[in-house]
Copies of this chain bind each other. A is one copy, B any other.
Amino acid sequence: MAEDVSIPFGPRRVGLDVATVIGLIGGFGLIIAAIVLGGSPGSFVNPPSVLIVIGGTLAVTTMCCSITEMGSTFRIALMTLFYSRRDPSEAALQVLRIAEVARRRGVLALQGSVDSLGNEPFLQKGLSMVVDGTPGEEVEQIMRRDLQATVQRHARSTSVLRRMAEFAPAMGLIGTLIGLVQMLGNLKDPETIGPSMAVALLTTFYGAVLANMVFMPLASKLERNSNEEALVNNIYVMGASSIGRQENPRRLEMLINSILPPPQRVQYFD
C-alpha cells in the first residue's frame, strides 16, 4: 500500500520560469532587433560605459549594505529564472493525502513518503521529525523559524534589487554628464560631435535598460515568488504539525483552506 502514499508529481515543477524567460528574451530581443536593424550595432557596445553603469551601480549598492548581502541577492535573483511557479492547491492536496495515510495507518507508515519527497526538502524535513517522534508543537516551532528566515532573506534581496533600480539610471546620468563635458570641451572638431554625444548617451541607455528591464521586474518577480513559496511552506508547516499532533485531517483541510486564496481552495474529503 506504500505506493498509495508516494506522490506521483509534486507541486513544484523545477524548470525554467516561462514568464521570466519569455519577458527577458522578448524584451531584449526587441531592443537588439531595433539596434541591429538600425545598421551599426557596434556603436551600442562601449565597454567603459558598461563599466560605469554596471560597476557604479554595484559599487554604490554595496556601500548601502554588505558584501554578503550582495552575493545572496544575486543567487536569489538568479533563482527566479530557474524556479518554476509552485501550485499551492497541489501542495495542499499532497499534504492532505499524507495526513490521511498517517491517520489510517499510523505515523510510522510515512517513512516511504518521506523518502520520496526529495524535491520538497522543507516538507521532508518536517515529516522526518514527525516520524522520529518529535512532538507537533516543536515541529511547528522549528519549521516556522526556518520559514521566517527564508522570507526575511528574500525581503532583503528584494530591497537590494529595488535600490539597484534606483541607482542604475543615476549612474547613467552621471556617465552622460561626463561624456557631455568632455565633448563640449573639445568642440573644435565638429566631425566628432555626433559620435561623442552618441557615446555620452549610451550610459543613460544602459541605466534605463538595467533598471526597467532587469532590476525592477526581477524585484517584482522575487516578491511574488517569495509570497507563493511562503504560502506553500505555510501549508507544509500546518500539515507536518497537524500530523505530529495526530489531529483529524478534515480539520487540517479547513485550516489550510482558510489561508488559501479562494480560487485555489481544495476539497479533498468528499
Q: List chain A positions with a Cβ less than 8 A from chain B.
A: 18-20, 22-24, 26-27, 30-31, 33-35, 37-40, 43-44, 48, 51-52, 55-56, 58-67, 70, 85, 145-146, 148-149, 152-153, 163, 167, 170-171, 173-175, 177-182, 184-187, 193-195, 197-198, 201-202, 204-205, 208-209, 211-213, 216-218, 220-221, 224, 261-263, 265
A63 touches B170 (CB 8 A): no
Are A208 and B174 CB-contacts (below 8 A) given A39-B182, A48-B34, A163-B220?
Answer: yes
- Asked whether, in the complex, the Cβ of B201 is within 8 Å of the Cβ of A180, the reply is yes
Q: Are A217 and B60 in contact (CB under 8 A)?
A: yes
Chain B residues with CB under 8 A of A23: 59-64
Select which of B26, B31, B59, B177 is within 8 A of A208 by beta carbon.
Answer: B177
Please determine whether B213 and A60 come into contact, CB atoms closer than 8 angstroms: yes
Which applies to chain A's interface (DSSP): helix, strand, loop or mixed? Answer: helix
Report whether A62 and B19 are in contact in the complex, using a CB–CB cutoff of 8 Å: yes
In the bound complex, do residue B66 and residue A85 qualify as a contact, i.e. CB atoms below 8 Å apart? yes
Given A63-B23, A85-B66, decide whether A197 and B184 contact each other with a Cβ distance below 8 A: yes
Chain B: which residue is nearest A198 at the CB level? B184
Residues of B with C-beta under 8 A to A179: 38
Which residues of B are found within 8 Å of A19, using beta-carbon distances?
Answer: 62-63, 65-67, 70
Contacts A146-B262, A187-B194, A205-B178; A64 near B224 (Cβ below 8 A): yes
Closest A-B pairs by Cβ, 4 of them: A23-B63, A187-B194, A26-B59, A63-B217
A26 touches B43 (CB 8 A): no
- B152 close to A181 (CB less than 8 A): no
Chain B: CB-nearest residue to A163 = B220
Q: Contacts A20-B63, A27-B56 hold; do A38 and B213 have CB atoms under 8 A apart? A: no
Determine if B181 and A185 form an interchain contact, defined as CB atoms under 8 angstroms apart.
no
The interface centre, meaning the residue of A31, A64, A178 with most chain B CB atoms within 10 A of its CB, is A64
CB <8 Å contact, A22 and B221: no
Q: Taking CB as reference atom, which chain B residue is nearest A170?
A: B212
Beta-carbon contact of B56 and A48 below 8 Å: no
